Amino acid sequence: MRIAIGSDHAGFAMKQAIVGLLSELGHSCEDFGCFNSNSVDYPDIAQPVAEAVSKKSFDRGILVCSTGIGMSIVANKVPGIRAAVCHDTFSARRAREHNDANVLCLGEWVIGQGLMREIVTTYLSADFVGGRHTRRVEKIHAMER
């Protein structure tokens, strides 16, 4: 799977760990920044990641900031993006299975490295189940038109 990944300065360390995890899991990724712990504005990272996923250049995206909330707000402004803030494996699985979330947002200040590994692995291994959930996701698409 091809993953677009990005973080602001508050999520930089976790993003670096996720890049390693993605490699371990056999996924490829492109890092959209930031590339050090110097302060950056999260919209400058979230928007290009979300646009790349929306254009289908990548299968999914992962964004990290202090809480995941700011990244999620920005990513969800891009048509075709369903970004979910997940700080547990249940939410990560449901975000994929029921909401067809294509961007995972994480908070480095909220979760630790061990839980991050579980959440990312769960998110990437889950699939959209369709069925009645397809109708609901289509209603989201209709709002974007």
For this structure, is 87 an active site residue?
A: no
Q: Are 32 and 60 in contact (CB under 8 A)?
A: no
| Catalytic member of 9, 29, 34, 65 | 65
User: What is the pairing mode between strands 83-85 and 60-65?
Assistant: unpaired
| Catalytic member of 98, 105, 133, 141 | 98
For this structure, is 65 an active site residue?
A: yes
* Orientation angle between helical segments 89-97 and 113-125, nearest 10 degrees: 20
Question: Which residues are marked as active site?
Answer: 65, 98
